[in-house]
Amino acid sequence: MKNDDLKRPKFTKVSDYVFEIPKSYVKGMLVPARVYADKRLLDQMDTRVFEQIANVSSLPGIQEHSLVMPDGHSGYGFPIGGVAAFDPEDGGVISPGGIGFDINCGMRLILTNLKVNDIKNKIKELVDGLFSAIPTGVGNSSRLNINREEFRKLAENGSRWAVEKGWGYEEDLKGTELNGFADWADASKISEKAISRGLKQIGTLGSGNHYLEIQQVKKENIEDEKIAEKWGIFPDQIVIMLHTGSRGAGHQIATDYVQRFSALSESKNGIKVNDKELVCAPFLSDEGQDYYKAMGCGVNIALANRQAITHAVRQVFSKVLKRSPDKLGMELLFDVAHNRASLERHSIGKSEKELLIHRKGSTGSYAPGRKEIPRKFRKDGSPVIIGGSMETGSYLLVGSAGSEDTFSSTCHGSGRTKSRSQARKSTDGEKLFNDMLKKGVYVKSASWAGLAEESGDSYKDIDSVVDVIHSAGISRKVCKLLPLGNIKG
Amino acid sequence: MSYRFLKDLSKSDVAVEIRAKSAKEIFGESAKAFNGIIVKNPQLIGNSIKKKFFVRGSTMEDRMFDFFDKLIYYKDVHSILFSRISIEPGTDKLRRIEVKTAGSIIDAGKLRPIVDIKAVTMHKLSVVEKKGAFTATVVFDV
């Protein structure tokens, strides 16, 4: 069915921050869709977001309702900021388009014991050093020498593989979701093509909205002093935020399975989808299980990539500041994904079920006590890292009880308001660079046009987005983080 | 320019509409769009490296998907962008198309990269024929 001429839905207001799209909006919807937003953010969302989440609501085995987070914007298949829970025992599916092609794209936050005054005259040197140590942008290859056999090990062992290579510490694994690796990954399920694309990209940042940022914690931006102190956050502190994923290998894994599912979806499994990008397979089918194991490799590739970059960051800081990473207190606070499907137990009505939660551009936000949370954070809730635009800042939050209503999911960023071509037309990259420099943010980018695409006004207001998830009780603010230096692809 | 950006189709990724006078030309024009998204100076892509590959698929959309997937592979694995695409007359009606290409290694200083294309998607993917002319709609993950 084509939905090109869809009108905006008639929403039912569930609460101040939750709006429901009825099943009658699009023929075939099995459950309603719920949008987390305030009125202004809801009005900002384009109709395609609602069309896309309605299509998600039509997939077999979906439970309760599909969800859009307040940073939701149109993508392909699922909207960005889309969440859906499928019951494998009820024919529930797995869909590459519901996870995103950049499998396990995510955020990492590295702490330091530095204060702003310690490095205020070294920002340019640090940013330039990071830019030269970490390949960014199109055609810039990894300097790590990894052969195909090693890549297969990496794909099954993630950060653990990188730490064994000496690119990090055991402690890093305790600050990473899944303790640093997806144990269900099986490298025999990924293609040689995916391996070829991945070989030269471990330890690289990529382009688009991927970045690495030196940030500061201002005293007035700490909202939860108790959690901040517990997690090692303090006023005037310097921290480093990283946003990247599984690079070409992850994209190839998704592409390979979209092609495979496409050939089987209707003929073998009898699943008709409203958008070809939603092709899927029953989770318990052979092809569904194969993709789950291949996706696990994508998860590990992204984790190894972020771990390798973390190693480079530590080396650069150590070289510029002439102290070891230990002496600089460069501990990993947390590494969290926003493009992944995870098997988790959630309450449906009066029963508890194991569900496959698809999060595409949505971060896991786990309430205190949940077993998905690494032990050192479990009592308080999972750290949630939300990357904003390079002009406006980012957030650190903690998972809270309201996330039980969202299958432990929250937003992942601020969400685009302008398409990339619109942003390039309205913003001059070089002027933006100079304007940011005047504001005290030094950016090094592989491309002026790429920089223009990531301007602050291409995105929604991050404060409004985070206010919604905070007020809805999904994730609670810990602190806001402001940029001082940034490298982009 | 034989392609235009579709700003309303996807906010986060890049959607384009590509036009060509024939089925034979739609692949060449599609490669131009691909290059134009990735680099600022696609006219400076050389032609010293020759490659030949096959594109498969039961529909024109499937073949277009496979074609872009191959371009992405050569870009990522061999750092090549292609300036010339040649398809044998009539082969586009078959499930397998032989594609001959000429291109050059990506020289970032000369070509000035903008954004990377990491995957082609099936979202709204279409190739429509009208009176012999072809229009393709493609969304790329960037």
Residue pair A458/A385 in contact (Cβ under 8 Å)? The answer is: no
Answer yes or no: is pLDDT of A273 > 60. yes
What does the alpha-carbon distance between residue A381 and residue B124 come to, in Å, rounded to a whole number? 39
**Tokens in use for B16?**
């384009």
What does the alpha-carbon distance between residue A144 and residue A284 come to, in Å, rounded to a whole number? 37
Q: In this structure, which amino acid lies at residue A170?
A: E
pLDDT digits (tens, 9 = 90+) for A192-243: 999 999 999 999 999 888 999 999 999 999 999 999 999 999 999 999 999 9
What does the alpha-carbon distance between residue B103 and residue A127 come to, in Å, rounded to a whole number? 34
**Tokens in use for B133?**
């002319």
Q: Which residue of A105, A419, A457 is the best one to mutate when testing the B interface, meaning the one whose CB has the most B CBs within 10 A?
A: A419
Residue count (chain A):
489
Separation of CA A176 from chain center = 14
Q: What is the mean predicted confidence (pLDDT) over A260-276?
A: 84
Residue pair A201/A301 in contact (Cβ under 8 Å)? The answer is: no
pLDDT digits (tens, 9 = 90+) for A131-170: 999 999 887 888 888 999 999 999 999 999 999 999 999 9
Nearest to A165, CA basis, from A336, A310, A367, A51: A310
Asked whether the beta carbons of residue B124 and residue A275 sit closer than 8 angstroms, the reply is yes
pLDDT digits (tens, 9 = 90+) for A64-118: 999 999 999 988 889 999 999 999 999 999 999 999 999 999 999 999 999 999 9
Predicted confidence band of residue A480 (pLDDT cuts 50, 70, 90)? very high
pLDDT value for B1: 66
What does the alpha-carbon distance between residue A186 and residue A190 come to, in Å, rounded to a whole number? 8
What does the alpha-carbon distance between residue B115 and residue A137 come to, in Å, rounded to a whole number? 7
Domain that holds residue B26: 3-141
Predicted confidence band of residue A41 (pLDDT cuts 50, 70, 90)? very high
Predicted TM-score (pTM) above 0.80: yes
Nearest to A400, CA basis, from A383, A421, A375, A423: A383
Nearest to A96, CA basis, from A264, A303, A258: A258
Predicted confidence band of residue A3 (pLDDT cuts 50, 70, 90)? very low
Domain locations along chain A: 12-92+106-488
**A76 vs B contacts (CB less than 8 Å):** 10, 13, 121-124, 139, 141
Answer yes or no: is pLDDT of B88 > 80. no
Nearest to A72, CA basis, from A406, A327, A430: A406
pLDDT value for A21: 98
**Tokens in use for A58?**
């039509």
Q: What is the ipTM of this complex?
A: 0.88
First to last CA, chain A: 38
Asked whether the beta carbons of residue B115 and residue A421 sit closer than 8 angstroms, the reply is no
pLDDT digits (tens, 9 = 90+) for B94-135: 578 899 999 999 999 999 998 899 999 998 899 999 998 999
Residue B39 has phi, psi (to 5 degrees) of: -130, 155
**A102 vs B contacts (CB less than 8 Å):** 118, 141
Asked whether the beta carbons of residue B118 and residue A248 sit closer than 8 angstroms, the reply is yes
Residue B39 maps to which CATH number? Answer: 3.55.10.10
Instruction: From residue A186, give the alpha-carbon distance in Å to each of A35, A78, A154, B116.
Output: 35, 26, 11, 28
Residue pair A479/A224 in contact (Cβ under 8 Å)? The answer is: yes
Separation of CA A392 from chain center = 18
How deeply is B100 buried, as exposed, middle or buried, from its count of CB atoms within 10 A (0-12, 13-18, 19+)? Answer: middle
Which are the contacts of B6, defined by CB distance < 8 A and separation ≥ 6?
B15, B16, B17, B137
pLDDT value for A5: 64
Contact A464/B at CB under 8 A: no
pLDDT value for A207: 86
Residue of A294 and A7 predicted with greater confidence: A294
Answer yes or no: is pLDDT of B89 > 80. no
Please state which of the four CATH numbers 3.90.1860.10, 3.30.930.10, 3.40.50.300, 3.40.1160.10 is assigned to the domain occupying A12-92+106-488: 3.90.1860.10
Contact A420/B at CB under 8 A: yes
Is A412 part of the annotated catalytic residue set? yes
pLDDT value for B134: 94
Percentage of chain A with pLDDT > 70? 99
Residue pair A379/A368 in contact (Cβ under 8 Å)? The answer is: yes
Task: Determine the 3-state secondary structure of A11 from DSSP.
Answer: coil
Q: What is the mean predicted confidence (pLDDT) over A296-316?
A: 98
**Tokens in use for B6?**
């579709």
Answer yes or no: is pLDDT of B92 > 60. no
Asked whether the beta carbons of residue B69 and residue A46 sit closer than 8 angstroms, the reply is no
Pairing of strands A33-36, A66-76: parallel
Count CA atoms within 13 Å of residue B44 on its CB side.
Answer: 12
Instruction: Identify the closest residue of chain B to A419 by CA–CA distance.
Output: B11
What does the alpha-carbon distance between residue A222 and residue A228 come to, in Å, rounded to a whole number? 7
Answer yes or no: is pLDDT of B90 > 60. no
**Tokens in use for A419?**
């398409």
**B35 vs A contacts (CB less than 8 Å):** none
* Shortest Cα–Cα distance, B89 to chain A (Å): 27
